[in-house]
Homo-oligomer: A and B are copies of this chain.
Amino acid sequence: MANDNRATDSIDRDEDYGLTQALMDRIDAAMEAGDRPALDAALEPMHAADIADLIERLTPARRRAFLTLYADGIDGEILSEIDESIREEVLDQLPQAVVAEAVREMDSDDVVDLVEDLDQPDRDQILAALDAGDRAAVQQSLAYPEYSAGRLMQSEVVTAPEHWTVGQTIDFIRAEEWLPEQFYHVILVDPRRHPTGYVTLGRLLASPREATMRDLAEDSFRTISAQAEEGDVAYLFNQYHLISAPVVDDHDRLVGVITIDDAMTVLDDEHEEDILRLAGVNDESHVSDSALTTARQRLPWLVINLFTASLSAIVITQFEATISTLVALAALMPIVASTGGIAGTQSLAVAVRALATRDLNRSNARRVVMRELGAGLLNGLGLALILGIAGTVIFGDPKLGVVLGMAMIVNQIVAALGGVLVPLGLNKMGLDPALASGTFVTTMTDVMGFFAFLGLATLILI
């Protein structure tokens, strides 16, 4: 059995992984025919995450058909993999009994993730399916702010007193009826439930039964405040190669544990947010969105850009007399502006990324800004040389070459500085540095590009 699966489970670059076209066709045919056994057969070998992806990719009408046909096949694992963007829709279409059963299977962090964006009545209805202890754990998590470590943690934790032996700990774990689905450490706690260290399961297994837990604890030990932001949690896991980390309340008491797979999901979400926000896209966009939803998500920044682009138009209008004297200027001015736009985007992407990884912070901000200034000046000189010579040769007018070159130097410096100062400024104001930076910076480089070029042309050429 395992041998048979191995070949197909091994990954291959050109495959669509779980969801191959052949499989999609089989599923389509089964849904067309309303043939549940055939659908079961097609979905049986699939991982819950792939089934969730499948549900996300269907059109809303086909999704409804799928959920009707496959309702009781939806379990806790699939439900917790379903993307936020369609989660409410899916929950609404499933019978209550199916949701209740699924929720009972889930770890507390997955239940929190599932219900946190629901209205109070919907949320209460789902929580009612849980037994009292699990419900209390979920409600404790929900009491912490959104996007906090408290929302991310699971309450299910395996703990032991420091003075226990390995043997006692193993016997305790063997006797325990209920254990988290995955755990990698035993957290050591004092009598008041303050975490004092942790022992990896590998270390526990490798040690003799009579060894004391205290002596097996890892050197580096780090707790996370339940109030910490999830982005900071992801950073800590990535920076310190954590596998799981204990979460403590304001009194330093253990309230839960965060595992690396949750941190990896947060890291991935933050990436998505950065790359989309930099481009001026509402970060809730999803591949299954309709054209209308997509248009609506993107319109706000487009409209804002209409206004910021009007600034360029106003600047150019001031130089109409210059342009009508030498119409070639109208053709050349976008070169200065667009090269500035590219430079600004480069500087911006580097700064936003460095802020996200904490490589750029207060201790080196000044040095990085000076570095950008230097790089902008150097590239401005290089580009000015190329463009200046080309302009002189093509138009036979050295003065035009000088104007092009000087405007390029000015705009490259503005671009390099704008690209780093805008995100640093947003960050200082407590805003996401990726938010809208792209529009601000390209507006700066457009306006400055047109102004420097046309202004210098007016002074030198006309």
Smallest CB gap from A219: residue in B: B47
Which residues of the partner chain B approach A379 to less than 8 Å between Cβ atoms?
Answer: 295, 298-299, 302
A5-24 toward B: CB 8 Å interface, digit per residue (1/0)?
Answer: 11101111100111101001
Partner of A208, one of B174, B320, B349, B438: B174
Q: Are A309 and B335 in contact, with the CB atoms below 8 A?
A: yes
Q: Is the CB of B2 within 8 A of A197?
A: yes
Contact of A278 among B194, B261, B349, B386 (CB under 8 A): B349
Is there an interface contact between B13 and A228, defined as CB atoms closer than 8 Å? Answer: yes
**Residue A132 CB within 8 A of the other chain:** no
> Does A108 belong to the interface (CB within 8 Å)?
no
Question: A66-74, A121-129, A133-141, A267-275: which lies at the B interface?
Answer: A267-275
Partner of A275, one of B194, B232, B349, B368: B349
> Across the interface, which residues of B come within 8 angstroms of A386, CB to CB?
303, 306
Decide yes or no whether A143 CB sits under 8 A from chain B: no
**0/1 string, A351-368, CB within 8 A of B gives 1:** 011100111111110001
Q: How distant is the Cα of A314 from the Cα of B331 in the complex, in angstroms?
A: 7
**In the complex, chain A residues 210-260 whose Cβ is within 8 Å of any chain B Cβ:** 217, 220-225, 228-229, 232-233, 235-241, 243, 248, 252, 260
- The answer to whether A378 and B316 touch across the interface, beta carbons within 8 angstroms, is no
A206 within 8 A of partner (CB): yes
**Residues on B with beta carbons closer than 8 Å to the beta carbon of A348:** 279
Contact B173 A205 (CB under 8 A): yes
Q: A13 CA to B361 CA in the complex, in Å?
A: 12
Contact indicator B346/A330 (Cβ below 8 Å): no
Closest B residue to A415 by CB, please name it.
B302
A238's contact among B11, B206, B264, by CB below 8 Å, is which? B264
Known pairs A197-B2, A239-B17, A327-B324; A206 contacts B335 (CB<8 A) = no
Interface centre among A173, A294, A438 (most CB of B within 10 A): A294
Q: A267-B267, A275-B352 are in contact. Are A241 and B222 (CB under 8 A)?
A: no
| One of A34-42, A97-105, A176-184 at the interface | A176-184
Tell me if A235 and B17 are in contact (CB < 8 A).
yes
Given A3-B194, A196-B2, the answer on whether A287 and B360 have CB atoms closer than 8 Å is yes
Contact check, A179 vs B201: say whether CB atoms are below 8 A apart: no
A233, A272, A446: residue with the most chain B Cβ atoms closer than 10 Å = A272
Chain B contacts for A220, CB-based, 8 A:
47
Q: Does A96 contact B (CB under 8 A)?
A: no
* A302 contacts B243, C-beta separation under 8 Å: no
A170 at the interface (CB under 8 A from B): yes
Task: Give bound CA distance, A19 to B364, whole Å.
Answer: 11
Residues on the B chain within 8 Å of A155, using CB: none
A406 within 8 A of B: no
Complex interface: chain B residues within 8 A of A228 (CB): 10-13
Which residues of chain B have C-beta atoms less than 8 A from A429's C-beta? none
Q: In the complex the two chains form, is A276's CB within 8 Å of B338's CB?
A: no
Whether, in the assembled complex, A332 has its beta carbon less than 8 Å from a beta carbon of chain B, the answer is yes
Q: From residue A423, how far is it (CB to closest CB) to chain B in Å?
A: 12
**Quick check: B345 and A438 within 8 Å, CB to CB?**
yes
Q: Is the CB of B328 within 8 A of A312?
A: no
Give every chain B residue within 8 A of A294 (Cβ-Cβ): 371-372, 374-375
11 A-B pairs in the complex with CB atoms less than 8 angstroms apart? A10-B223, A17-B235, A173-B205, A263-B264, A271-B274, A295-B374, A302-B343, A306-B339, A317-B331, A324-B324, A334-B334
Other 6 A-B pairs with CB < 8 A, given A302-B379, A320-B327, A323-B330 = A2-B197, A11-B236, A16-B358, A313-B335, A320-B330, A323-B327
